[in-house]
Structure 1
Amino acid sequence: MNTAGVPPHHTRELSASAAREFAYQAHLRAREAQAAAFDALSDDLTIRTSSGWVRGEILEDLSPDRPIMNGEEPGRVRSWRGIPFGADTSGDNRFRNPRPAQSWQGIRDCREFGQVAPQPTYSWTDRVIGSEDCLYLDIVRPDSEEKLPVVVYLHGGSFIVGSSHMLMLRGYQLAAGMNVVYVSVNFRLGALGYLDLRSLGGDCDANPAVADQLLALHWVQRNIAAFGGDADNVTLMGESAGGAAVLTLMTVPQAEGLFHRAIAQSPPIAMIHSRTQSRFWARELVKHMALPRATSVEDLRREDCDDLIRAGQSMMWRAGELLHLNSCYSPTVDGKLIPEHPLAVFARGGEHKVPLIIGTNSDEASFGKFLFQRQSARNRAGLRLLASFDEEHAPQVVEAYGGAVARADFAALLADALFWAPAVRVAGAHSRNAPTWMYRFDFAPPAMKFLGLGAMHSMELSNVFGDPQASRASFLTRVGSAQEMDHLTGAMQRLWAKFIHEGAPGQDWPSYQAAGGRETMIFDAEPYLEAAPQERRRQAWEEYDMLEWGSGRRDLLATFGLLVEGKTAPEE
């Protein structure tokens, strides 16, 4: 470089600038050389993601006793475990929306599962498991070169427990049997993910867990093609709390275009938190932490994570609110990420117009048969359950269940309030705007029927995932006809797979029509169709208001300043 006539200090500046440029170019060449080296080493298991390289492993089919699908036994699958999609949520990031995962150098070994979200263990101790560094996902696909549809699965667990890699949900048999790329997602739970603490004051976000799920869907769109997945054919699927998460995301504007089909199994979508619930449970958390009433979100950020989880578990059982259908944890209508109640969005046709399979089990809450000894107590409990939402119409709903005095009728009322009635409402509304299929799962092995439990909550997962041995109730489901179980598994997996691949389960399962026959597929030992099942009960729910928990709890509304002239105050 000719520096004649250039002042000495300018020469030094030019030299420093040239040195920086030289260093920058050298850095780029080094990164390109590293990438080229990785490319040379890459194979079917070494994949480049937006954050860095990951390496998985080949797994043999882990359940040799599973039924044969499509004429041959599924064999090997490729698996990547514990891939970060979000950054650590601890410290200053607690109670805030997630940030993308930080990039890393080298090849990340992804043969071990990531940490689960902090959660209680429901044991005789108060042990807490998990870490706030929990935003990981797992991927399984057949050992082939095909470009395949994608299933993104959101786990259940009452919004307080669960993980992407629960034994039932690891997805080896589902991925192989349905020929899909299966992605199972971790997200925050309990007080750290599903509790709106804005009423305490301080900087926080109302729905961290929903934001986690949204971030995971964005990750899938950016990265799944590298794993042989079709980013233009993504099915969002979940059961229980995960099913509610699916329906919620169907009404989240920011989720538009991130998935193209949806499957919601037993979704308690009416449990979405109102302002009254959010304020009540935020106050309860502070109380069970033994902290002053004036505690803020910033104060809670400084508390030990395990103490927050223990307090959250304690308030769930000790507040006595489950008898009012008041669950501790759920997404919250915040006016931002979730602008309005999902049921209201479906009712006005504002949801994402994607094909939907939705259904429930016939004995979701069969434990309710054993809750009360006296008929009068069951009747009062039924009215109390429903009055928290809608005092006016609660009696006519309870009357449709014979006053809920018989054990079976009370259990049916509880199950329908939590699962079936909201699901039917969603199916009817969505069927006016997009293809919709509804089912009811009735199959129960003899041991379950003998105990009076029937097709309990989550029983269908054994059939959908094709792995009955992974069920926590497998010791009961083994008793009976293995041939019936295998036959039903084959039938359900074929229908789910056809829906995932083609957007419809086939001619044998007609779509649900609110203005037509409301045909519903009944999954039993031999599946069959039924027109408008439990129609009298469905009609009894039509006028019942499921949108605003607490409208029948004037004491709480007054406490939080939400009661205006005897009515619930309008949303701010």
Structure 2
Amino acid sequence: MSTGPEIATTAGVVRGLVDEELGIRTWRGVPFGADASGPRRFSAPAPVQPWRGVRDATQFGPPAPQPTYSWTDKVIGDEDCLHLDIVRPDHDEQLPVIVYLHGGSFIMGSSHERMLRGYHLSRTVDAVYVSVNFRLGVLGYLDLRTIGEDCVANPAVRDQLLALEWVQDNIAAFGGDPDNVTLMGESAGGSAVTTLMGVPAAVGLFHRAIAQSPPIAMMHSRAQANLWARELVYHMALPRQATLADLRGEDAADLVRAGQSMMWRGGELMHLNSCYAPTIDGSVVPDHPLTLFEAGEQAQVPLLIGTNSDEAGFSKYFYLRTSARSRAALRLLTAFDPDHAPRVLEAYDGATERSQFAELLADALFWSSSVRLATAHARTAPTWMYRFDYAPAALRWLGLGAMHSLELSAIFGDPGASRANGLTRLGGMEGIDELTETMQYHWGEFIRHGRPGPEWPAYGPATDDTPGRATAVFDETPRVVYDPKAAKRRAWEDYRMTDWGNGRPELLEELGLMVSTELGR
């Protein structure tokens, strides 16, 4: 590598790197927001303070504070984490822009994970790739307004907005087209994409959207926001009258550890009640994305959305008894909609078999809400849907398929960086090169032109010529299917996904929220 060109941003000049071997230019750890620690913890982000001279942008910045899931309780990261990484091909043409929001269950991840660095993707699709860091977990995805008013409900969403504004103001200097920005993310990052599509302040900041395996229904209602704020204080061993000042005085690593404790020991995951998610706050996030899309109030931009066929394959090993699986499935469905939960469960034959339970969990978290959102969006804007089916032979031998995040290997063109790399090294990856070429072709066409290749029909209702709901299936031999899993899709149609807590009256009473119509407000 050699020293890259110096670029003037609105805050100062940054100097990056040129990798002649890879044919890219990259700027790393470029700040877009100020340090979010101390008095700025739990608050809206502030723009970065300008600097003098040339800032070195050859090293990645720290990730947001997060756990490591090791045998210790080590926490990594720094609250001064609002920075982004930029990659572009080593030439001077103006190019479309990808802004990527990483996944990690709202608690982990960074802009510079090896898989997400974007070197191969940027060069292959000929785009400027921007990967964003933002606050996570306790510090980014909790609404603490019940503890004090001097905070905001959605720090992470506001971080993402600030990054998009920075791109509009600065990306032209890096050779990117600010009028052709694709917002892209996977898992929690995919949820960030669909959330931002319903954020009024984000209108005009991006022009296309790609949401991969988004857990769209995972939005915090008022009940969840109140519950998790209370639980944080408890797990920090603070008095019930603790203030935001008290929480700001605590070490960030201790807050992260407390957040992990309340997630794993609270027993709420069996009710699909994650500690962390965007909050419906009535302002920045005015309502649930599914509600906004149904009303046609989302950003009217082309959307590419999809899921993997075995997202929750790991759950096949959760329960030993068939009766336990069925009870667990009904419990998690009832948390949202006790009236329609039995009909959904019936569509999966009671979810007594391991494969049925895993499919139900995957569909509850990812597929059913993605189909509903795609259906709504297709009424007003171009929409394409996919399903990723490819799995290496080693995974299939273990009884697993295309698990969560496996599609990243093909889209980013770096199978060696996959979390399943240990298995993929065992072989059985026939067809992955061809699949990577196909998916990068379609993603590239969408990023450049707002539509994938002509081989992939748009998603929409049935017509005189087609049965509708065209879905591109990516496997060793890609194909298009129409209305996949139609019976299961119909079973989910009346199921309410937007008001968590309807099946938990005892908890709502405890929190003083007995009227379900108040949950999203």
Asked whether the 8 Å contact 1:333–1:341 carries over to 2, the reply is yes
Asked whether the 8 Å contact 2:97–2:127 carries over to 1, the reply is yes
1:162 is matched with which residue: 109, 115, 118? 109
Query: Which secondary structure does the structure 1 equivalent of 2:28 belong to?
Result: strand
Q: For residue 50 of structure 1, what is the amino acid of its counterpart?
A: T
The 2-side partners of 1:171 and 1:355 are apart by: 22
Cross-structure match for 2:473: 522
Q: For residue 454 of structure 1, what is the amino acid of its counterpart?
A: G
The residue correspondences of 1:77-88 to structure 2 (distance < 5 A) are 77-88=24-35
Q: For residue 7 of structure 2, what is the amino acid of its counterpart?
A: I
Asked whether the 8 Å contact 1:116–1:163 carries over to 2, the reply is yes
Cross-structure match for 1:223: 170
1:49 is matched with which residue: 5, 9, 13? 9
- Kindly state the Cα deviation for residue 222 of structure 1 after the two structures are TM-superposed: 0.4
Query: Which secondary structure does the structure 2 equivalent of 1:232 belong to?
Result: strand
Cross-structure match for 1:334: 281
The 2-side partners of 1:483 and 1:301 are apart by: 52
The 2-side partners of 1:403 and 1:570 are apart by: 29
Query: Which secondary structure does the structure 2 equivalent of 1:45 belong to?
Result: strand
2:495 is matched with which residue: 523, 532, 544? 544
Moved over 4 A (4+): none
Asked whether the 8 Å contact 2:221–2:520 carries over to 1, the reply is no
The 2-side partners of 1:571 and 1:562 are apart by: 11
Asked whether the 8 Å contact 1:168–1:467 carries over to 2, the reply is yes
The one-character-per-residue Cα deviations of 1:511-547 (angstroms, maximum 9, x if unpaired) are 0003551010000001000010000000000000000
Query: Which secondary structure does the structure 1 equivalent of 2:146 belong to?
Result: helix
1:197 is matched with which residue: 110, 125, 144? 144
The 2-side partners of 1:190 and 1:569 are apart by: 25
The 1-side partners of 2:269 and 2:512 are apart by: 23
Q: For residue 563 of structure 1, what is the amino acid of its counterpart?
A: M
The 1-side partners of 2:163 and 2:363 are apart by: 31
The residue correspondences of 1:299-318 to structure 2 (distance < 5 A) are 299-318=246-265
1:99 is matched with which residue: 46, 55, 63? 46
- Kindly state the Cα deviation for residue 199 of structure 1 after the two structures are TM-superposed: 1.2
The residue correspondences of 1:91-490 to structure 2 (distance < 5 A) are 91-490=38-437
Asked whether the 8 Å contact 1:236–1:262 carries over to 2, the reply is yes
Larger mean CA deviation between 534-543 and 282-291 belongs to: 282-291
The 2-side partners of 1:321 and 1:95 are apart by: 23
- Kindly state the Cα deviation for residue 482 of structure 1 after the two structures are TM-superposed: 4.4
- Kindly state the Cα deviation for residue 563 of structure 1 after the two structures are TM-superposed: 0.6
Q: Does 1:554 align with 2:514?
A: no
The 2-side partners of 1:558 and 1:90 are apart by: 35
Asked whether the 8 Å contact 1:155–1:239 carries over to 2, the reply is yes
Query: Which secondary structure does the structure 2 equivalent of 1:141 belong to?
Result: strand
Larger mean CA deviation between 412-421 and 279-288 belongs to: 279-288
The one-character-per-residue Cα deviations of 1:15-49 (angstroms, maximum 9, x if unpaired) are xxxxxxxxxxxxxxxxxxxxxxxxxxxx9611000
Asked whether the 8 Å contact 2:326–2:351 carries over to 1, the reply is yes
CA 296–59 in structure 1, closer or farther in 2 if over 3 Å, else same: same
CA 479–487 in structure 1, closer or farther in 2 if over 3 Å, else same: farther
Q: For residue 541 of structure 1, what is the amino acid of its counterpart?
A: W
The 1-side partners of 2:363 and 2:414 are apart by: 27
The 1-side partners of 2:85 and 2:193 are apart by: 18
The one-character-per-residue Cα deviations of 1:154-185 (angstroms, maximum 9, x if unpaired) are 00000000000001000100111111000000
Asked whether the 8 Å contact 1:562–1:568 carries over to 2, the reply is no
- Kindly state the Cα deviation for residue 406 of structure 1 after the two structures are TM-superposed: 0.7
Larger mean CA deviation between 201-210 and 150-159 belongs to: 201-210
Q: For residue 254 of structure 1, what is the amino acid of its counterpart?
A: A
Asked whether the 8 Å contact 1:557–1:568 carries over to 2, the reply is no
- Kindly state the Cα deviation for residue 373 of structure 1 after the two structures are TM-superposed: 0.8
The 2-side partners of 1:537 and 1:483 are apart by: 31
Asked whether the 8 Å contact 2:287–2:520 carries over to 1, the reply is no
Q: Percent identity?
A: 64
- Kindly state the Cα deviation for residue 368 of structure 1 after the two structures are TM-superposed: 1.2
Q: For residue 269 of structure 1, what is the amino acid of its counterpart?
A: I
The 2-side partners of 1:507 and 1:171 are apart by: 25
The one-character-per-residue Cα deviations of 1:546-565 (angstroms, maximum 9, x if unpaired) are 0011111001110111114x
- Kindly state the Cα deviation for residue 478 of structure 1 after the two structures are TM-superposed: 3.0
The 2-side partners of 1:122 and 1:102 are apart by: 34
The 1-side partners of 2:520 and 2:172 are apart by: 42
The one-character-per-residue Cα deviations of 1:230-256 (angstroms, maximum 9, x if unpaired) are 000000000000000000000000000
Q: For residue 46 of structure 1, what is the amino acid of its counterpart?
A: E
The 2-side partners of 1:570 and 1:270 are apart by: 14
Asked whether the 8 Å contact 1:498–1:505 carries over to 2, the reply is yes
- Kindly state the Cα deviation for residue 60 of structure 1 after the two structures are TM-superposed: 4.0
The 1-side partners of 2:133 and 2:154 are apart by: 15
Q: For residue 479 of structure 2, what is the amino acid of its counterpart?
A: Y
Cross-structure match for 1:59: 19
Cross-structure match for 2:442: 495
Asked whether the 8 Å contact 1:243–1:268 carries over to 2, the reply is yes
Query: Which secondary structure does the structure 2 equivalent of 1:199 belong to?
Result: coil
The 1-side partners of 2:309 and 2:159 are apart by: 31
TM-score of the superposed pair, with normalisation by structure 2: 0.97
The 1-side partners of 2:479 and 2:276 are apart by: 36
Structural RMSD (CA): 1.2
The 1-side partners of 2:4 and 2:404 are apart by: 38
Asked whether the 8 Å contact 2:62–2:81 carries over to 1, the reply is yes
Asked whether the 8 Å contact 2:223–2:519 carries over to 1, the reply is no
The 2-side partners of 1:399 and 1:59 are apart by: 55
Cross-structure match for 1:30: none
Asked whether the 8 Å contact 2:500–2:519 carries over to 1, the reply is no
The 2-side partners of 1:515 and 1:197 are apart by: 45
Asked whether the 8 Å contact 1:246–1:264 carries over to 2, the reply is yes
Query: Which secondary structure does the structure 2 equivalent of 1:105 belong to?
Result: coil
Q: Extract unaligned runs of 5+ from structure 1.
A: 1-42, 62-74
The one-character-per-residue Cα deviations of 1:392-415 (angstroms, maximum 9, x if unpaired) are 000000000010001100000000
Asked whether the 8 Å contact 1:194–1:331 carries over to 2, the reply is yes
The 1-side partners of 2:31 and 2:39 are apart by: 19
TM-score of the superposed pair, with normalisation by structure 1: 0.89
- Kindly state the Cα deviation for residue 571 of structure 1 after the two structures are TM-superposed: 5.5
The 2-side partners of 1:44 and 1:146 are apart by: 16
The 2-side partners of 1:384 and 1:531 are apart by: 31
Asked whether the 8 Å contact 2:329–2:351 carries over to 1, the reply is yes
- Kindly state the Cα deviation for residue 298 of structure 1 after the two structures are TM-superposed: 2.1
Asked whether the 8 Å contact 2:144–2:153 carries over to 1, the reply is yes
Larger mean CA deviation between 472-481 and 452-461 belongs to: 472-481
